[in-house]
């Protein structure tokens, strides 16, 4: 079993709790002093950071949502002056609710430490060659993995996503041993190898770390069998870091959360009451070591369970179950989040009103396809087929441009879908084994 930082990764639970309390107190003090949003909230409930003497006491603090972050866009949630910020990213860019995230030099160092732990847990060493097939851009994902791999001393190929034929050639020529991508890209690479008549047996791949979208156990089996590798899941949030929040160890029985950097809670997304370990609910994350962009009780929207029982790998940090669902109507498709409100706004811009519509996602030939089903109304009813086709094509173009990939638009008869369900996910994620 390989650890990057065995002392921390296997420390006893009491020491974890003590470290969390200290990190929390320091973070609360810093945000109270430097972030107007938190100072206002704390004052409203007559809370002073020094009041927190146990981890239970901070549970009186209100939750933080993505909306709070975008209301303070771009820099009002930063807890340090901009001159101390060395890196800026955004979450999946959304004009209506943008969120900017900053990192200090120390945050960058911690980020590399966390992703190094993730990579070392699945056996990455300085002898490895990592192919990062995630899109390098304003999103943080690939940069965090790169930093961790370089910390380990592995060789990094910042390949970016797409260009599957080139990916396969580079993979073979550069003797790639570790693939980092979304599961969708991994499946795409398998198909590209088939077309190029390249036998994965002849490659040097040994493992892959996959994330940024929900993926089934059957997809894991397919990737492992076809590429002859071990495939593990990783979980991140751009608001927090990107990758480096939680990851699977070789036991593949839940994802260890780095508890020396984060406090994880599970709440009922409706009543907002805390839920006991083992119960499925919304994951809430508090950062206790971040300098530039600390988050206190941030509601992730992701549904999972926490397991505090010991893991066979020896790591003592708790595990969350793999994440397949969200508690809101946000769909995660091809590594991007899409909410019905965003699509509704675009439909409204184009046609001057918001029709009844439903978002439906389905996996077709290894690729997630997003369908926008729109009810035909008098306004959308054209006597000329050609006019109607042009209109649908226009919607398709506008929506695809917005998402950055093809979206399917269909006009349907009223009553075709249940209008109380704005979102339908037809992808099948196998049931996660009970923790």
Burial of residue 262 (number of CB atoms within 10 Å: 0-12, 13-18, 19+): buried
Q: Which residue has the tokens 């909230």?
A: 41
Give the residue with the Cβ less far from Zn ion, 313 or 330: 313
Shortest Cβ 116–Zn ion spacing (Å):
16
Give the nearer residue to Zn ion in terms of CB position, either 3 or 402: 3
Find the shortest distance in angstroms from Cβ 320 to Zn ion. Answer: 12
Residue among 256 and 326 whose Cβ is closer to Zn ion:
256
Find all residues with CB under 8 Å of 328, minimum gap 6, and list them.
269, 301, 339
Q: Quick one: DSSP state of residue 139? A: S
Query: What are the residues facing 132 on neighbouring strands?
Result: 180
Q: How far apart are the first and last CA of the chain?
A: 21
Instruction: Tell me how far apart the alpha carbons of residues 79 and 294 are, in angstroms, rounded to a whole number.
Output: 7
Choose between 216 and 249: whose C-beta lies nearer to Zn ion: 249
Is residue 364 exposed (0-12), middle (13-18) or buried (19+ Cβ within 10 Å)? exposed
The answer to whether 66 and 94 have CB atoms below 8 angstroms apart is no
Shortest reach from residue 106's CB to Zn ion, in Å: 27
Give the shortest CB-24-to-Zn ion separation in angstroms.
Answer: 25
CB of 265 to Zn ion, least distance (A): 21
Closer of 222 and 307 to Zn ion (Cβ): 307
| Residues contributing to the site for Zn ion (CB under 5 A) | 249, 251, 311, 313, 315
Three-class SS of residue 204? Answer: coil
Least distance (Å) between residue 252 CB and Zn ion: 9
**Considering beta carbons, is residue 108 or 311 the nearer one to Zn ion?**
311
Tokens of 244: 């480096």
**Rg for the chain (alpha carbons), in Å?**
23
Q: Measured from the CB atom, is 91 or 230 closer to Zn ion?
A: 230
CA–CA dist 113, 115 (Å, integer): 6
Number of neighbouring beta carbons within 10 Å of residue 218 = 11
Shortest reach from residue 232's CB to Zn ion, in Å:
11
């Amino acid at each position: 079993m390989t650890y990057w930082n065995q002392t921390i990764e296997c420390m006893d639970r009491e020491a974890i709790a003590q470290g969390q309390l200290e990190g929390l107190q320091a973070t609360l003090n810093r945000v109270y002093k430097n972030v107007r949003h938190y100072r206002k909230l704390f004052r409203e409930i007559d809370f002073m950071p020094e009041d927190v003497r146990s981890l239970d006491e901070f549970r009186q603090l209100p939750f933080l949502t993505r909306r709070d972050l975008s209301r303070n866009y771009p820099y009002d949630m930063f807890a340090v002056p901009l001159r101390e910020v060395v890196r800026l990213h955004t979450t999946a860019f959304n004009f209506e609710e943008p969120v900017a995230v900053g990192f200090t030099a120390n945050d960058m160092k911690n980020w590399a430490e966390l992703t190094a732990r993730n990579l070392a847990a699945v056996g990455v060493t300085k002898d490895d060659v990592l192919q990062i097939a995630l899109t390098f851009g304003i999103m943080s994902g690939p940069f965090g993995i790169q930093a961790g791999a370089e910390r380990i001393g592995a060789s990094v190929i910042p390949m970016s996503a797409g260009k599957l034929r080139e990916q396969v050639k580079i993979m073979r020529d550069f003797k790639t041993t570790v693939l980092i991508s979304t599961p969708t890209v991994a499946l795409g690479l398998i198909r590209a190898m088939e077309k190029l008549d390249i036998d994965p047996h002849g490659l040097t791949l040994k493992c892959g770390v996959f994330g940024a979208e929900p993926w089934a156990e059957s997809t894991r089996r397919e990737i492992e069998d076809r590429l002859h590798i071990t495939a593990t899941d990783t979980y991140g949030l751009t608001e927090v870091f990107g990758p480096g929040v939680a990851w699977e160890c070789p036991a593949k029985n839940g994802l260890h959360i780095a508890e020396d950097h984060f406090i994880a809670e599970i709440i009922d997304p409706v009543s907002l009451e805390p839920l006991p370990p083992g119960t499925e609910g919304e994951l809430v994350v508090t950062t206790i070591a971040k300098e530039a962009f600390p988050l206190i009780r941030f509601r992730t929207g992701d549904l999972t369970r926490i397991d505090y029982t010991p893991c066979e790998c020896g790591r003592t940090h708790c595990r969350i179950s793999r994440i397949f669902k969200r508690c809101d109507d946000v769909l995660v498709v091809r590594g991007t989040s899409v909410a019905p409100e965003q699509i509704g706004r675009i439909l409204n811009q184009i046609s001057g009103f918001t029709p009844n519509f439903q978002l439906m996602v389905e996996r077709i030939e290894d690729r997630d396809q997003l369908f926008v089903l729109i009810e035909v109304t008098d306004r959308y009813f054209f006597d000329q087929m050609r006019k109607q086709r042009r209109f649908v094509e226009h919607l398709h173009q506008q929506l695809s441009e917005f998402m950055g990939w093809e979206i399917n638009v269909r006009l349907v008869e009223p009553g075709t879908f249940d209008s109380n369900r704005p979102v339908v996910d037809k992808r099948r994620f196998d049931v996660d084994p009970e923790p």
